[in-house]
Amino acid sequence: MQAVIAVLPGDGIGPEVVAEGVKVLQAVAARFGHTFTLREGLIGGCAIDATGEPLPAETVALCRASDAILLGAVGGPKWDDPQARVRPEQGLLGIRKALGLFANLRPVTVHPRLIGASPLRPERLQGVDLIVVRELTGGIYFGEKRRERGPDGEWASDLCLYTEAEVVRVVRVAGQLARRRRGKLTLVDKANVLETSRLWRSITTRLVREEFADLEFETMLVDACAMHLIRRPTDFDVIVTENMFGDILTDEASMLAGSMGMLPSASLAEGRLGLYEPIHGSAPDIAGQGKANPLATILSVAMLLRHSLDLPEEAACVEAAVATVIDRGIVTADIATPGQVIATTTAVGDAVAAVIAG
């Protein structure tokens, strides 16, 4: 097949991990006889440096004209001034909103060889296989922001707003996913305090009754969920939750898999177009040192192949290659066990590409 893929490396370790993702795409193209046309664009801090804006119109146009988007990460200390007019993160939020990417799928599985890489007890990690469906274009991230000076000094506010339609569409994605998996759906909210959460709960409960009565359904408060994720992670199948809760819970869940560098994600709209990125950030503490784990990005490439290009065999091939490379002990420091030889970012990507090539 022929496909156009927009590649947005971004900042920090973004370009390092995306280079390995691209390597893997090229290995897949070669092995399966596809033509992937890769087109690079600017987003985040590098875009601010080049154009003054975190999301140049050109980048949005490039993404709209593509079949899928592969993104690294944005941000870093260089652009962190709280007084700055623009921030790299606005680029990421902007592209999610511009393309209507409301459903962010963040799967969490634990490779058997990496059970020792997690700080958690091995017997709790065996068989972890959950997916968080994070609402991505609403809530407190996108509500009105204010910062003003009043008689008592400065004040600020971030409005958290959700509409019924925004809740329904993302819960439907989660429900359909649960149906294809183990049939369990957990709504995570803070309905004991927040009005938006009470809206989520009443809409979701009704929708499940009307459209997903075959699923096992539960609700859970977000603070308790943070605890249960660590205490009994194998009990979860599909978690659906609002934007900020999903952001926080998935960084926590990454430690089940052993590292932030292991969790991929797919951000989906109504159609086929999707944006694929690791859940981690630009990791300024390790940028430029060849230490970044590229597997979250490579696993995001697998999600891209499956969801946007409808290439399940190719996706499975990438996932199997990642598992093989972990089995062979070719891993970066974040998931290495004591005494293990540590591989560089490039060495891990090379190894995955070589396995795909056969």
Instruction: Report the binding-site residues for NAD(+).
Output: 76-89, 281-293
CB of 89 to ligand IPM, least distance (A): 4
Looking at the Cβ atoms of 168 and 248, the one nearer to Mn ion is 248
Q: Which does 93 bind (CB under 5 to 8 A by kind): ligand NAD, Mn ion, ligand IPM, none?
A: ligand IPM
Q: Is 290 in the site for ligand NAD (CB under 6 A)?
A: no
Neighbours of 183 (CB within 10 A): 14
Give the CA dihedral 258, 276, 346, 256, nearest 10 degrees.
Answer: 0
Q: Is 284 in the site for ligand NAD (CB under 6 A)?
A: yes
Is 162 designated active site? Answer: no
First to last CA, the chain: 20
Phi, psi of 138 (to 5 degrees): -140, -165
Phi, psi of 218 (to 5 degrees): -140, 160
Is 247 designated active site? Answer: yes
Round to whole Å and give the CA distance between 180 and 331: 31
Q: Pick the catalytic residue: 223, 235, 310, 327?
A: 223
Residues 244 to 283: which contact ligand IPM by CB under 6 A? 247, 279, 281
Instruction: Name residue 148's beta-bridge partners.
Output: 155
Secondary structure E strands in 192-265: 216-221, 238-241
Looking at the Cβ atoms of 156 and 213, the one nearer to ligand IPM is 156
Q: Is 314 in the site for ligand IPM (CB under 6 A)?
A: no
Rule CB under 6 A: choose which of 92, 160, 199, 299 binds ligand NAD.
Answer: 92
Nearest one of 182, 294, 289 to 235, comparing CA atoms = 182
Is 141 designated active site? Answer: yes
Using CB atoms, what's the residue nearest to Mn ion?
247
Q: Pick the catalytic residue: 11, 141, 189, 334?
A: 141
User: What would you measure as the largest C-alpha separation in the chain, in angstroms?
Assistant: 69
Contact residues for ligand IPM (CB under 6 A)?
75, 89, 92-93, 247, 279, 281
